[in-house]
Amino acid sequence: QKEVEQNSGPLSVPEGAIASLNCTYSDRGSQSFFWYRQYSGKSPELIMSIYSNGDKEDGRFTAQLNKASQYVSLLIRDSQPSDSATYLCAVSPLSGGYNKLIFGAGTRLAVHP
Amino acid sequence: GAVVSQHPSWVICKSGTSVKIECRSLDFQATTMFWYRQFPKQSLMLMATSNEGSKATYEQGVEKDKFLINHASLTLSTLTVTSAHPEDSSFYICSAGTSYEQYFGPGTRLTVT
Protein backbone atom coordinates (compact mmCIF):
# COMPACT_ATOMS: atom_id res chain seq x y z
CA GLN A 1 0.00 0.00 0.00
CA LYS A 2 1.55 3.24 -1.14
CA GLU A 3 1.18 5.85 1.55
CA VAL A 4 1.64 9.54 2.13
CA GLU A 5 1.91 10.62 5.74
CA GLN A 6 1.27 14.04 7.21
CA ASN A 7 0.88 15.27 10.74
CA SER A 8 -2.80 16.18 11.10
CA GLY A 9 -2.09 19.18 13.31
CA PRO A 10 -3.34 21.67 14.02
CA LEU A 11 -0.09 23.50 13.51
CA SER A 12 -0.49 26.85 15.19
CA VAL A 13 1.87 29.70 14.30
CA PRO A 14 1.76 33.43 15.01
CA GLU A 15 1.23 35.89 12.19
CA GLY A 16 4.50 36.73 10.46
CA ALA A 17 6.22 33.49 11.44
CA ILE A 18 7.40 30.68 9.19
CA ALA A 19 5.08 27.69 8.98
CA SER A 20 6.76 24.37 8.18
CA LEU A 21 4.64 21.54 6.86
CA ASN A 22 6.06 18.08 6.37
CA CYS A 23 5.19 15.00 4.38
CA THR A 24 6.75 11.56 3.94
CA TYR A 25 5.93 9.01 1.29
CA SER A 26 6.50 5.29 1.03
CA ASP A 27 6.97 4.72 -2.72
CA ARG A 28 10.62 5.37 -3.47
CA GLY A 29 9.85 5.50 -7.19
CA SER A 30 7.59 8.55 -6.87
CA GLN A 31 8.29 11.21 -9.46
CA SER A 32 5.94 14.15 -8.87
CA PHE A 33 5.07 15.97 -5.69
CA PHE A 34 2.39 18.56 -5.06
CA TRP A 35 1.10 20.77 -2.31
CA TYR A 36 -2.55 21.78 -2.30
CA ARG A 37 -4.35 24.16 0.03
CA GLN A 38 -7.95 23.48 1.00
CA TYR A 39 -10.09 25.98 2.83
CA SER A 40 -13.00 24.61 4.82
CA GLY A 41 -15.91 23.81 2.51
CA LYS A 42 -13.88 24.46 -0.64
CA SER A 43 -12.01 22.28 -3.11
CA PRO A 44 -8.20 21.92 -3.12
CA GLU A 45 -6.13 24.60 -4.81
CA LEU A 46 -2.68 23.82 -6.22
CA ILE A 47 0.08 25.79 -4.53
CA MET A 48 3.31 24.18 -5.65
CA SER A 49 4.65 21.29 -7.65
CA ILE A 50 8.18 19.93 -7.36
CA TYR A 51 9.92 17.18 -9.28
CA SER A 52 13.64 17.44 -8.48
CA ASN A 53 15.61 17.31 -5.27
CA GLY A 54 16.19 20.67 -3.66
CA ASP A 55 14.15 23.80 -3.11
CA LYS A 56 11.58 25.53 -5.28
CA GLU A 57 10.38 28.97 -4.33
CA ASP A 58 7.22 30.81 -5.37
CA GLY A 59 6.50 33.99 -3.50
CA ARG A 60 6.10 33.23 0.19
CA PHE A 61 6.07 29.48 -0.47
CA THR A 62 9.07 27.16 -0.71
CA ALA A 63 8.77 23.47 -1.45
CA GLN A 64 11.64 21.19 -0.50
CA LEU A 65 12.18 17.69 -1.83
CA ASN A 66 14.58 15.03 -0.63
CA LYS A 67 14.02 11.81 -2.55
CA ALA A 68 16.69 9.90 -0.64
CA SER A 69 14.82 10.55 2.60
CA GLN A 70 11.41 10.30 0.89
CA TYR A 71 10.48 13.61 2.36
CA VAL A 72 8.81 16.72 0.99
CA SER A 73 8.06 19.90 2.87
CA LEU A 74 6.36 23.24 2.40
CA LEU A 75 7.55 26.42 4.08
CA ILE A 76 5.28 29.43 4.29
CA ARG A 77 7.12 32.63 5.14
CA ASP A 78 5.45 35.65 6.75
CA SER A 79 2.37 33.56 7.56
CA GLN A 80 -0.93 35.38 7.41
CA PRO A 81 -4.30 34.53 8.97
CA SER A 82 -5.55 33.95 5.41
CA ASP A 83 -3.10 31.03 5.18
CA SER A 84 -5.16 29.17 7.77
CA ALA A 85 -6.33 26.08 5.91
CA THR A 86 -5.63 22.39 5.47
CA TYR A 87 -2.55 21.64 3.39
CA LEU A 88 -2.57 18.44 1.40
CA CYS A 89 0.57 16.70 0.18
CA ALA A 90 0.10 14.62 -2.97
CA VAL A 91 2.49 12.23 -4.66
CA SER A 92 2.44 10.55 -8.07
CA PRO A 93 4.52 7.61 -9.29
CA LEU A 94 4.86 9.24 -12.69
CA SER A 95 5.51 12.71 -14.01
CA GLY A 96 2.69 14.85 -15.35
CA GLY A 97 -0.84 15.61 -14.26
CA TYR A 98 -2.51 12.68 -15.99
CA ASN A 99 -1.79 10.23 -13.23
CA LYS A 100 -3.57 9.26 -10.07
CA LEU A 101 -2.39 11.21 -7.06
CA ILE A 102 -1.93 9.70 -3.64
CA PHE A 103 -2.95 12.22 -1.00
CA GLY A 104 -1.96 12.56 2.59
CA ALA A 105 -4.70 13.25 5.10
CA GLY A 106 -3.62 16.89 5.34
CA THR A 107 -2.19 19.19 7.98
CA ARG A 108 -4.41 21.85 9.42
CA LEU A 109 -2.59 25.17 9.78
CA ALA A 110 -3.88 27.92 12.06
CA VAL A 111 -2.21 31.34 11.86
CA HIS A 112 -3.20 33.52 14.77
CA PRO A 113 -2.89 37.33 14.84
CA GLY B 1 -3.06 27.78 -13.74
CA ALA B 2 -5.62 25.79 -15.68
CA VAL B 3 -9.31 26.26 -14.93
CA VAL B 4 -11.78 23.48 -14.17
CA SER B 5 -15.47 24.14 -13.65
CA GLN B 6 -18.24 22.04 -12.15
CA HIS B 7 -21.98 22.30 -12.44
CA PRO B 8 -24.05 22.49 -10.40
CA SER B 9 -22.22 23.87 -7.38
CA TRP B 10 -24.88 22.44 -5.11
CA VAL B 11 -27.92 20.24 -5.56
CA ILE B 12 -30.66 18.90 -3.34
CA CYS B 13 -32.57 15.87 -4.54
CA LYS B 14 -35.02 13.36 -3.18
CA SER B 15 -34.04 9.83 -2.31
CA GLY B 16 -34.33 7.51 -5.29
CA THR B 17 -33.68 10.12 -7.96
CA SER B 18 -30.57 10.49 -10.10
CA VAL B 19 -28.25 13.47 -10.22
CA LYS B 20 -25.76 14.40 -12.93
CA ILE B 21 -22.67 16.47 -12.19
CA GLU B 22 -20.61 18.02 -14.99
CA CYS B 23 -16.89 18.69 -14.92
CA ARG B 24 -15.33 20.85 -17.62
CA SER B 25 -11.77 21.87 -18.40
CA LEU B 26 -12.18 25.43 -19.65
CA ASP B 27 -8.81 26.33 -21.14
CA PHE B 28 -7.15 23.02 -21.85
CA GLN B 29 -7.95 19.56 -23.11
CA ALA B 30 -8.13 16.88 -20.48
CA THR B 31 -7.79 13.30 -21.63
CA THR B 32 -7.93 12.24 -18.02
CA MET B 33 -10.18 13.50 -15.26
CA PHE B 34 -10.64 12.25 -11.74
CA TRP B 35 -13.66 12.14 -9.46
CA TYR B 36 -13.35 12.45 -5.69
CA ARG B 37 -15.75 12.43 -2.79
CA GLN B 38 -15.16 14.13 0.52
CA PHE B 39 -17.22 13.79 3.66
CA PRO B 40 -17.06 16.52 6.33
CA LYS B 41 -13.72 16.67 8.13
CA GLN B 42 -12.41 13.71 6.16
CA SER B 43 -9.80 13.28 3.47
CA LEU B 44 -10.38 13.25 -0.26
CA MET B 45 -11.39 9.84 -1.51
CA LEU B 46 -10.69 9.02 -5.13
CA MET B 47 -13.71 7.38 -6.70
CA ALA B 48 -12.65 6.85 -10.28
CA THR B 49 -10.40 7.86 -13.14
CA SER B 50 -12.21 9.05 -16.23
CA ASN B 51 -10.52 8.63 -19.60
CA GLU B 52 -11.82 10.28 -22.74
CA GLY B 53 -13.36 7.77 -25.08
CA SER B 54 -13.04 4.77 -22.79
CA LYS B 55 -14.57 3.27 -19.69
CA ALA B 56 -13.78 4.77 -16.34
CA THR B 57 -11.55 2.97 -13.88
CA TYR B 58 -13.19 2.71 -10.49
CA GLU B 59 -11.41 2.45 -7.15
CA GLN B 60 -12.00 -0.56 -4.99
CA GLY B 61 -15.29 -0.38 -3.14
CA VAL B 62 -16.91 2.18 -5.48
CA GLU B 63 -20.05 0.87 -7.15
CA LYS B 64 -19.69 1.52 -10.85
CA ASP B 65 -23.40 0.92 -11.50
CA LYS B 66 -24.31 3.57 -8.95
CA PHE B 67 -21.76 6.18 -9.96
CA LEU B 68 -21.87 6.37 -13.74
CA ILE B 69 -19.03 8.24 -15.37
CA ASN B 70 -18.95 9.43 -18.96
CA HIS B 71 -16.04 11.26 -20.57
CA ALA B 72 -17.40 11.99 -24.01
CA SER B 73 -15.09 14.80 -25.01
CA LEU B 74 -11.68 16.21 -24.17
CA THR B 75 -13.25 18.92 -22.03
CA LEU B 76 -16.22 17.25 -20.36
CA SER B 77 -16.70 14.42 -17.91
CA THR B 78 -19.96 13.69 -16.11
CA LEU B 79 -20.73 11.80 -12.93
CA THR B 80 -24.27 10.52 -12.47
CA VAL B 81 -25.29 9.38 -9.03
CA THR B 82 -28.11 6.93 -9.69
CA SER B 83 -30.88 6.18 -7.22
CA ALA B 84 -29.34 8.52 -4.71
CA HIS B 85 -29.81 7.90 -0.99
CA PRO B 86 -29.06 10.10 2.01
CA GLU B 87 -25.74 8.33 2.56
CA ASP B 88 -24.63 9.61 -0.86
CA SER B 89 -24.80 13.17 0.46
CA SER B 90 -21.28 14.48 0.16
CA PHE B 91 -18.96 16.95 -1.56
CA TYR B 92 -18.06 15.67 -5.02
CA ILE B 93 -14.98 17.16 -6.63
CA CYS B 94 -13.43 16.55 -10.04
CA SER B 95 -9.91 17.25 -11.16
CA ALA B 96 -8.27 17.37 -14.56
CA GLY B 97 -4.65 16.92 -15.51
CA THR B 98 -2.39 18.91 -17.79
CA SER B 99 1.04 17.73 -18.86
CA TYR B 100 2.46 18.82 -15.54
CA GLU B 101 -0.17 19.23 -12.86
CA GLN B 102 -3.68 18.45 -11.77
CA TYR B 103 -6.31 21.08 -11.08
CA PHE B 104 -9.50 20.75 -9.12
CA GLY B 105 -12.96 22.01 -9.90
CA PRO B 106 -14.83 23.97 -7.24
CA GLY B 107 -16.87 20.95 -6.17
CA THR B 108 -20.54 20.01 -6.04
CA ARG B 109 -22.31 19.66 -2.75
CA LEU B 110 -24.99 16.98 -2.97
CA THR B 111 -27.72 16.66 -0.36
CA VAL B 112 -30.16 13.77 -0.66
CA THR B 113 -33.33 14.12 1.38
Check if A3 contacts B (Cβ < 8 Å). Answer: no
pLDDT above 80: residue A23: yes
Of A90, A84, A85, A86, the residue nearest A111 (C-alpha): A84
Note the pLDDT of residue B98.
84
Q: What is the 3-state secondary structure (H, E, C) of B45-86?
A: EEEEEEECCCCCEECCCCCCCCEEEEEEECCEEEEEECCCCH
Mutation for testing the A interface, residue in B31, B54, B102 having most A CBs under 10 Å: B102
pLDDT tens-digit map of B16-37: 999 999 999 999 998 899 999 9
Residue A24 CB partners (closer than 8 Å, separation 6+): A4, A5, A69, A70, A71, A72
Q: Report yes or no: B1 and B103 within 8 Å, Cβ to Cβ.
A: yes
**C-alpha dist (Å) from residue B17 to A42, B12, B65:** 26, 10, 14
Question: Which of A68-82, A86-100, B63-77, B93-107 has maximum average pLDDT?
Answer: A68-82
Size of interface A-B (CB pairs under 8 A): 55
Question: Using one digit for the tens of pLDDT, what is the confidence trace for A90-107?
Answer: 999 887 778 899 999 999
A14 touches chain B (CB under 8 A): no
Mean pLDDT, residues B58-70: 95
